[in-house]
Every structure is written in C-alpha cells, then in structure tokens.
Structure 1
Amino acid sequence: MTGWSLAALYWGYTGLTGGRFNVVVGLLQFVTDVAVYSLITHLYRNFALRHRWTELEINPLLRRLAPTVLVLGVVYVGVTAAKIFLFRLWFSVGPLQSFSQFIQLNGETLFIAGIRLMSIWLLAYHLYHYAQRELRSTQENARLEIMTRDARLHNLSAQLNPHLLFNSLNTIKSLVISEPETARRAIDLLSDLLRTGLYRGDEVLVSVKDELGLVTDYLELEKLRFDERLTYHVELDERLASVKILRLSIQTLVENALKHGISNRKVGGLVCIRIDKEEDDFIRIVVQNPGSIDLRIPVTGLGLANLAERLKLTFGEKAGLQITNEPEGIVSASVRIPIG
C-alpha cells in the first residue's frame, strides 16, 4: 500500500503541475488508485503465497512471472480505463467520448504503463521474499553448523570417554600376546574412529557407504568388548550406497541401541541395520535391538535429540525420527530422509 500511495502522490503532483487541476477529482483519484491497485496486488499476493511462488528459484519463477505481468497489465488497463472514464463522465472533465473511443485512444498507453508498474511491483515483491529466504537460509545454515559440531563432540564423547577408552585399551592389551593380529586390528579400528571424529567433523552430509564404514568399524571395536553378547547384521540396497545422509545419523542410532539395548542384557543380542528405499523417493534407515521403551516418555537424550534437530534443520518437515516397540521385544529406531 505504501508503494501505491507514493505512486498516486506522484501522479497527483504531475496533474497539479500540469494545469486545470480539480482538487475533488484529484483526491478521488488518489483514494481509488491506492485502494484499487492495492487490492489487485493483494489478490496476487494471496495467489502467490497459496501456490508457493515465493519459494521458487529464479528460473521457474521467471517463467511464471512473464505471463503474470501480461495478465496484470490487462487488468490494470481495464480498471484504470473504467475509473478514468467514469470520473470524466461524472465530473465533465475532458472531451466527451464513448468508452470504446477512450480505449482506442488511451489503451496502448495504459497497457504500457500497466506492464511497467506491475513489473516493478512484482520485482520488488519477489526480491523482498528472496532476500528474506536467503536470510533465513543463512541463519539455518549457521545453526546447522553449530549442531554438527555438537554432534561431533557428542560422538567423540560417546566413543572415546575414559571408560570406553580404558576398556578398549585393556582389550587390546589382553590380545597383544595371545592374538596379536586381533590386537592390531583393534588398534586400527580405534585409530580410524579417532581420525574420522577429528578430521571429518565439518562434513554435514556423507554417503551411506561412508557412514556404514564408520558404523561397522565402531561395531567391530565394540564387539571386542561385548564378545559373543554382540552380533550385528547390515542390510543395504546397493543402489542407495551413494545417497547422501546426515553424518553420524546411523552412528547415533547404533550407539543408542548398544547403550539402551545390548549393554542392559546379560545375553546381549542382535543389532540389525536396514537401509532401503520407499516408493516416494525417501530413504529409510532402521536400527533394531532387543529391549523395550516407554513411549510415553519423550526423547531427551543428547544424541537422539541432536539428531532430530539436525534432521529438521537440513530437510525441514520432510525428514523424521521415530522410535517404536516392535513384536517379540524389539525396539526399532528409524530415520526417514528425502533422496536428492
């Protein structure tokens, strides 16, 4: 409305300086200009928001705006011509002529003016929304970087806390003489985990293959501690190996399965990791372990809460984290992420 008010003031000023200015007609022109043109652009605004044009990238938006400018230009001609003609008729301003004659004489000028004005308004409107979207994106990216660093720190804390490190080193020590090959493998695994945690912490997305490489190294190292109490199985649709997912997403689910499932059972159990594709171009990651969970208690753990927040920041409402109790005493934690 502010823009149209300024434009109407400018038109009134040009009329005032052009001679034969009628104050009553000028005021009516100002009020009707602001009201009518604001209504037109307000209707377009509602249409654009309803069809999410403000969320489009530049190229698809321009393809829609080109015909939109023409339509709004035609609307501008019809409204403006009718308004000016009625004012001339009511106040006997200007030469007496029919509406068709008025259109023939002024239609082209009005159409050019309408195209110019509507183009300026549309450009300003969508540039404003584009700037707001970029600002939100910058803020969300900043938050995501912070959350990713937090996830890396949590991952290091969970994997390399003094208790785990002490147990791992003791396991390696006990194997040095009796099973030197196994001890060397344990050292390699611990080294890989340290290297991954310290030098790949800035990555937000990694391939499924890389994430599973980290997870299997972690599970193999943990198996040295749990021994026969821990078994694991991985099912992967090989077509999904290169799909990008959140770094440490599977790792977080596996850590949760070991902490709340395997470690609480004397007989241990099986950790099953399944990664497949859903029909609507989503990848589904499921980690299952023996146990049960009280679904009435909200998830408050740092790892899962962190993962849920990072999913929301990266993929919006399209992604999600869900934990359920399955038959036969199985807890299932699943992450659903859009592909592409």
Structure 2
Amino acid sequence: MQKVIKYFFKTIVTGFVVSCAIIAIMFVLEAMFGRSFKIDASLFKEMGYYFLYGIVLTAINSTYFDFMNNRIEWKKYKRYRFTLSILGSVVLTVIGIFIIRLFIALVLEQRSYSEFIANENHRFYVVCLMITMVVTLAFHLIYFYKKSQENKVKEQKIIAGTASAKFETLKNQIDPHFLFNSLNVLTSLIEENQDNAQKFTTSLSKIYRYVLEQKDKELVSVEEELSFAKTYMNLLKMRFENSVFYELPESVKNPDAKVVPLSLQLLLENTVKHNIASETKPLHIRIYEKGDYLIIENDYQKKEVLQDRKGVGLQNIVDRYSIITNRKVRIEQTEKHFKVELPMLTKQIAIMETDYNTQESTYRKAQKKVEDIKGFYGNLTSYIVVNIGLAALNLITSPAHLWFLYPAIGWGIGVAIHGMTVFNYMPFLGSDWEEKKIRELMEKDKQDKWQ
C-alpha cells in the first residue's frame, strides 16, 4: 500500500510539473500572437483544465509504460515493442481525453450527455494527443538515456569483476602448482639422499615463505626474483647435483624493473620437468638481461614422453602478463635451445586492483552521475516553475512588453549548458564524438600501462 501511495504521489508531482511546462509554453505562444491576459476566474479555470489534463494523462501514460517496461518480457517480441507502446499510448490517451472532457461537460459545466456529444470535435483530441505524444517522447528519451547509462555501469562492473576474478584465479594456481612440484622433488630426494632431503626441507620452508609473501602481488622487482631464483636453483642442484648448471646476472641494470612474481620459479620448474638432465647430458640454464626483457634460456633436451611443453606454469605467466600489460611474453624454440623472454616493466599508470577497489570506484562514479542528474532536474524544475510565475506576472501587468523572456533566455542558456555537461552531449562535435573520444582515451590508457 505504501508503494502505491508513493507511486501515486510521484505521478501527481510529475503531472503537475508537466502541466506547468505546457501552461508556460501555451501562454507564451498565445501572447506572441496577441492575446492579453487578465487575472480573473476564467484564467484560473483555464489553468485548472490544463492541470487536469496534464496530471490525468501523465498518470495514464506513466502507468502504461511502467507496465510495458517492467511487467512484460520482451525478449521474443523486441521488434513489436515500439509499435505496441505507441499504439497503446495513443488509444489510452484518446480514451483519457474523452473521459476528461466528459467529466468537464457533465460535472463542472452541468451540460447534458447529448449536448456534449453534439459539440465534440476531433480537433480537441488531435491537439491534446500531439502534446501528449511530445511529452511522452521526451520522457522516453530520458528513460532510455538513463537505461543506457545504467547498462554502461553494469558492463564496466562485469568487465572489472571478470578481470579481477581471472587475475586472482591465475595467481592462486601458483601456490598448489609450486607445492605439488616441490613435493615431487622431495619424494625423489628421500629415496636417493636423506641428508639432502633434510636440507631440502629446511630450504623449502624458507622458499615457501617467499611464495606466500609474493603470490598476492601483481609485480615484484627483478632483483628479488633473481635472488629467489638463485635459492631455488640451489635446491634443484641438491637433487640433480652435476646434472644441472645455471648462470645468473650478478647485478640488475635497472633496479626499478619488475616482473610477474614467481615467474622465474615456474619457468625453472618447467625447464627441469620437460628436459633431460643427467651427468652425461647436463642441462644448462642461463638467465640474463637483453634490452628491456629478462631472458630464461635452456638447452633443448626434450623428454620424449612429454608431448606438450607449454604447461600450467608457462601459460599462467602468459595470461598474467596479458592482463596487466600490452607487452607480450616471447617464446622461442630451436633445435638446440628453448627461450622465454619476460618483459621487464618500468612504468605503471594503472594496475588492476584485485580487491573491491575497482567496483567501489565504479559505484562512486555512478553515484556521482546520479547526483549530477538529480541536480540538473532540480535546476530544470526551478527554471520552469519560476519562469511560469514571471510569465504570468508579466502577462498580467504589462503584456505589451514581454520582459520575462530576458531572464528565461539567460537562465535557459545556463540550464542548457548544465544539461549538456551532465549528459555529455556536445551538438557541435557530432553524434559520434563521444564514442571516438572514449576509444581514443582507452587506447591511450592501454599505452600508459606497464611498458
């Protein structure tokens, strides 16, 4: 019941505002064509009729379109929606006009039904119908614009949420993947050398602490990653001894350079897993810098039992880089060597947040947009109401000089600029200017990611 009362009150207010706008427009047009106005009963009676038509027809069309938009499923009948909406609005408007005119004739003017029918003219209905259709079109434009803005916000929320969830999933793959491979190494060491297995367990706990610390970060410094890689390679040598050799740079050329966390560990795991490593055929691994790439290169000694070299670890790195930068991970394979080149990122304008910051930011922007729209409607309502009063005062006191047009035009320009600002409408820049500008800024944003 409370919702019904609230909806009824809202409809009356909307109808009142619409009626005020129609009164202002009609009185101004009539004054421009020479009509003079006097404050008397006939003037208030005429205004009362305007309010009666405006409120009733607004209520009819508002209820009808709310029903059409919210109560009917249009998925299968989208092509008929516009036609049915217009036809239904026209029929209901004509019926509403007839009922209003009948009420005025029988109740307010005390005429008979036969006299009312005899004096009816289709022109009354055409004029009212045209005004109603113009008002309805205006409301539809506002409604569809608001819906398009809401859909844009929802779309951005979905994009941000999907990217955030994808990035989080990719990072969470590292933890079990690393543990699984480490336990495999430990199992082998227990069988071969229990002393090394004990040392491996101690070192593994230190490394695992690093994994837990770094896995929730988007990026880490190259220096940290190389230091970790060195510790990890020492663990691998406990198992493979003289079967694995590695080379690492002693220092980093750019201390600000960053890479995806645990990328070296994943690549080193893949290298040992997918290649033969024995004392007769040792595996050499080289890590070095070349330009703005960190290169991990190893001898290509593929194990015949493994068909697909690009496993979880390498694909994980490729996917994580694709989310936070436009630069690609390069993979090169020859008969003798396998090489992976990781982009070293040095500039960060925007990194995707993995918590709720993105969604909260989108919500705040949407909230501010709604507040701006409400402010514009408040400004527009004030403009209409105040200028109606000024127009009435002008037409009553000095109809020969339409001085109310000066504040109406000046304020109207301000309202128009306010509306264009709120709704991002720039008529002199073309209909597709906004979309072009959005695409331009999006491309610039991509270029300003990590380079």
Q: TM-score, normalised by structure 1?
A: 0.52
Which residue is equivalent to 2:328?
Answer: 320
Residues paired across the two proteins, number: 211
* Pair 1:168 & 2:189 matched: yes
* CA displacement 1:181-204 (0-9 Å, x = unmatched): xx65x4432221232334543223
Measured against aligned partners, the alpha-carbon deviations of 1:269-298 in whole angstroms (never above 9, x if no partner) come to: 21001134x3xxxx31211111167xxx98
8 A contact 1:262–1:290 mirrored in 2: no
Change in Cα spacing, 1:137 to 1:243, as seen in structure 2 (3 Å) is farther
Structure 1 residues 239-289: Cα deviation after superposition (integer angstroms, max 9, x where no partner): 33442221111112111111122438851221001134x3xxxx3121111
1:292–1:325: 8 Å Cα contact kept in structure 2? no
Written as runs of structure 1 = structure 2, the 5 A alignment for 1:226-245 is: 226-235=240-249, 238-245=252-259
Percent of residue pairs bearing the same amino acid type:
20
Amino acid at match of 1:219: M
How far apart, CA to CA, are the structure 1 residues paired with 2:189 and 2:299? Answer: 24
- Amino acid of the structure 2 residue aligned with 1:136: I
CA distance in 2, matches of 1:171, 1:196: 27
Letter of the 2:294 counterpart: I
Which of 205, 209, 213 is the matching residue for 2:219? Answer: 205
Alignment match, 1:286: 295
Distance, in Å, in 1 between the alignment partners of 2:167 and 2:237 is 32
TM superposition outliers: structure 1 runs of 4+ over 6 Å: 125-131
Whole-Å Cα distance in 2 between the matches of residues 168 and 197 of structure 1? 21
1:244 aligned partner, one-letter code: K
User: Which among 304, 307, 315 is matched to residue 317 of structure 2?
Assistant: 307
Q: Are the aligned partners of 2:277 and 2:283 in contact in 1 as well (CA < 8 Å)? A: no
Where does 1:37-116 land on structure 2 (aligned, <5 Å)? none
Residue equivalent to 1:339 = 346
Q: What are the Cα deviations for residues 30-81 of structure 1, in whole angstroms up to 9, with x where unaligned?
A: xxxxxxxxxxxxxxxxxxxxxxxxxxxxxxxxxxxxxxxxxxxxxxxxxxxx
Give the greater-gyration-radius structure (CA): 2
**1:153 lines up with 2:176 in the alignment:** yes
When residues 239 and 269 of structure 1 are mapped into structure 2, their CA distance, relative to the original with a 3 A threshold, is same
Corresponding letter in the other structure for 1:274:
Y
Q: 1:191 to 1:213 in 2, by over 3 A?
A: same
Q: 1:130 to 1:264 in 2, by over 3 A?
A: farther
Cross-structure match for 1:268: 282
Check the 8 A contact 1:149/1:201 in 2, yes or no. Answer: yes
- Aligned equivalents of 1:227 and 1:288: distance in 2? 19
SS in 2 for 1:240: coil
Contact residue 331 and residue 341 of structure 2 kept, 8 A = yes
**TM-aligned CA deviation for residue 135 of structure 1:** 5.4
Question: Quick one: which amino acid aligns to residue 185 of structure 2?
Answer: L
Give the C-alpha shift of residue 338 in structure 1: 3.4
| Structure 2: distance between partners of 1:271 and 1:169 | 25
Q: 2:163·2:323 contact (CA, 8 Å) conserved in 1?
A: yes
Q: Which runs of 5+ in 1 are unaligned?
A: 1-8, 23-124, 177-182
| Aligned CA distance change for structure 1 residues 268 and 193 (closer, same or farther; 3 Å) | same
The residue type paired with residue 225 of structure 1 is R
In structure 2, distance between residues paired with 1:213 and 1:136: 36
Q: Secondary structure at the match of 1:204?
A: coil
| Greater fraction strand | 1
Task: Indicate the structure whose relative CO is greater, using CA pairs within 8 Å and at least 6 residues apart.
Answer: 2
